[in-house]
Amino acid sequence: MKDSPGAIWFNYRDAPYRFANQAEAQAFLDTVKYKSEIEWVQAPDLFRLLNGIGAPLTNWREIINQVGEDFDREVYAEEEVFRRPESFERRGALLAVFKSVMDIVETRLSGEELAKFLEAREHHYKLLVTQESVVKGNVCVETMYAVTSREIAAGRMPRDFPQRQIAEMGMMAPHLTRDELLAGAADSLSTADEPQHVAEPNGIWQRIVRFWRGRFPTAEQREAQRRKTLGYD
């Protein structure tokens, strides 16, 4: 019989175990003393890594890499999929894993090593939050407002976080909606000639739009940031 995609399979002490979802499988795995006795048959890569021997301290770099790959898939999914509540929740769950793992690693560092790590960690988190908010190369303030609201509610982001301030400022000013950005309303904008309907009288939002246009990292640049975070140098 074909198994459902969300099912978790593994062998433990030569006996097969199957669970309908990750929550049920995790409840059982939390009772397992020696993870070395687990033989994986079917499970998402991130789930396996989080339940690896000595995780997350022994394999935190692999976990963060996998979080980035899974996050990319969610962010760059078809628009219909991206807008589903379950996708929004999955993206939040991935950022929750990012925070939990980084919190654990942080407790093992000190001095200059810790300072470098904290700087790289914050930059990486800003990158992920912004990545989730980009539409056709432009930051969508509506999406960023929703994303930062989720992060604040979950306790992962302070209310004075830069991306939250950008979102609040953008929402108070005339701005392009996500649907307008998807339709290409910003495609013809240039840094030298911003249309009036996206600029505040004092030009603050106009400068924000100019700052972000063309600055969102490519896949290669995102990978470089991951390497920087993992090496915190």
Pull the structure tokens for residue 191.
């840094």
- Name the residue with higher pLDDT: 186 or 81: 81
Length of the chain as a residue count? 233
Say what the pLDDT of residue 194 is: 43
Whether the pLDDT of residue 1 is over 90: the answer is: no
CA angle 195–212–214, rounded 5-degree value:
95
What's the mean pLDDT when you consider all of the chain?
86
CA angle 124–185–181, rounded 5-degree value:
35
Say what the pLDDT of residue 188 is: 62
Whether the pLDDT of residue 200 is over 70: the answer is: no
Contacts of 102 (CB under 8 A, 6+ apart): 60, 64, 121
Please report, for residues 72, 99, 134, 197, the alpha-carbon distance to residue 67 in angstroms, rounded to integers and kept in the order given: 9, 11, 18, 37
